Structure formats: C-alpha cells, structure tokens
C-alpha cells in the first residue's frame, strides 16, 4: 500500500547545530503538511506545501517539496532547545487520503 517514510527516526544534535529530516512517499502526493509534537503534547500544524519544487521558510525552518512531489524535507538552522520534539510529515495522496510518516524525534543537547 501507499507509504510515507521518514529518516532519520531519531536525531541528537548539539544546540546550535543544524538538523534535517527527510520524508519520502511511495506515490505522488497532492500536498504535504508538516507537524511538530512536543514531548507529552499533541501534533501542531507547521506548514503545507502544494507546488512541485516549492520552498517555504519560517524563521529558522526551511521546508521543501520535491520536484516529483514524492519527497519533502524540513531543515532547521542553528537548533535551539525549543526545537525539541517529533516532526511528522503528512502527505495527501491522489485518493484524498492523508498518510502520516512515522516521525523524526529531535533531541537538542544544551
């Protein structure tokens, strides 16, 4: 079936280092959303990408949607302790279903 994968599963970084998580789909996606879940919390929407090759920025976060609309990435520049959490991508398939990736858990060492 259709799958959305994310790598890495876990990432530990020193505060100030950069961080990137990658999301890959087995099929072409209509759009992709990114969510952040703080420890003990619930997923919170960050952004949505729709167009092939689209790049969006939110302060230190850069989101990219691949040309083939089958992959996406989230890059955080100069991580801070407030960035700790699990980052999920969620892709909308051609069948109008939303499939979440398994998430990348980010730890930031002060």
Partner 1 sequence: EAQVTQNPRYLITVTGKKLTVTCSQNMNHEYMSWYRQDPGLGLRQIYYSMNVEVTDKGDVPEGYKVSRKEKRNFPLILESPSPNQTSLYFCASSLSSDNSYEQYFGPGTRLTVT
Q: Residue 77 or 93: which CB sits closer to partner 1?
A: 93
Is 28 near partner 1 (CB under 8 A)?
no
Q: Kindly state the smallest distance separating residue 78's Cβ from partner 1, in Å.
A: 26
DSSP line for 30-55: SEEEEEEE-TTS--EEEEEE-STT-E
The binding track of 48-77 with respect to partner 1, each residue x by CB under 8 A or -, is: x-----------------------------
Is 100 near partner 1 (CB under 8 A)?
yes
SS3 content of the chain, % helix, strand, coil (to 5): 5, 55, 40
Q: Which stretch binds partner 1 (CB under 8 A): 16-24, 58-66, 75-83, 89-97?
A: 89-97
Three-state SS at 101: coil
Question: How far is residue 7 from each of residues 34, 51, 65, 86, 95, measured CA to CA in Å?
Answer: 14, 22, 15, 12, 24
For partner 1, the binding residues (CB under 8 A) are 6, 9, 30-31, 33, 35, 41-45, 48, 88, 90, 92, 96-103
């Amino acid at each position: 079936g259709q799958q959305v994968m994310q790598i890495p599963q876990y990432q530990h970084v020193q505060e100030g280092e950069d961080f990137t998580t990658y999301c890959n789909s087995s099929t072409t996606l209509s759009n992709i959303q990114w969510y952040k879940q703080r420890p003990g919390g619930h997923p919170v929407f960050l952004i949505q990408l729709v167009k092939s090759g689209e790049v969006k920025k939110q302060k230190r976060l850069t989101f990219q949607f691949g040309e083939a609309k089958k992959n996406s990435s989230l890059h955080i520049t100069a991580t801070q302790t407030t960035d700790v959490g699990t980052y999920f991508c969620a892709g909308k398939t051609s069948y109008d279903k939303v499939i979440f990736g398994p998430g990348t858990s980010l730890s930031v060492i002060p």
